[in-house]
Amino acid sequence: MQQWQRRLLGILALGGGFTGLAVGLSLLLAPGSFLGKLLSVPFLGLFTWGMVCGLRLLEGRDDALRQNFYFWLAQVPFLMSPVLGYSFSSGASLHFKYQPSLYKWDFFARFGSQFEYSLLQGKPFIVGINVVAAGVCCFLVYLMRTSQTHTGSEQEAP
């Protein structure tokens, strides 16, 4: 992995995690329902994990690529339905969404962090993906595979 790539992905994860954690903590302190605050806690954990992943990547730690892969993988799905909803992004996002009931495609892009959840709120069914997160996941898989190939060939040589 080149240094600029490590820095870019590390800063996106670290900065996005910090921003999301700051905004999420302010939501916990604001007036609102206890259940809403309780449902926000897992997202605060995800943002904290993102900060750790970003630091590990910036420091060049072992296993940082795999940890960052899982962190970005958590950001890929976008799902809203009458029963449950989930959306999480940290750093940057470009969501492509499809709403089958209206045969409608839509997209939205953001630089920063956000999360959205719903529980029995009667929202329409919408499914989508975060293209930025999916692209980062593919890139991290490529890097992990090429590093295994280089490591394997070096170990086999006398």
Structural Rg of the chain based on CA atoms: 18
For the chain, the farthest-separated pair of C-alpha atoms sits apart, in whole angstroms, at 65
- Cα 127 to Cα 86: distance, rounded to the nearest angstrom: 10
Model confidence over 2-50: pLDDT tens digits?
A: 888 899 999 999 999 999 999 889 888 888 888 888 888 999 999 999 9
C-alpha distance from residue 96 to each of 16, 22, 59 (Å): 20, 26, 33
Confidence of residue 55 (pLDDT cuts 50, 70, 90): very high
**The model's pTM:** 0.86
Q: Are strands 104-111 and 126-130 parallel, antiparallel or unpaired?
A: unpaired
Model confidence over 75-108: pLDDT tens digits?
A: 999 999 999 999 999 988 999 999 998 899 999 8
Nearest to 28, CA basis, from 37, 19, 20, 15: 37
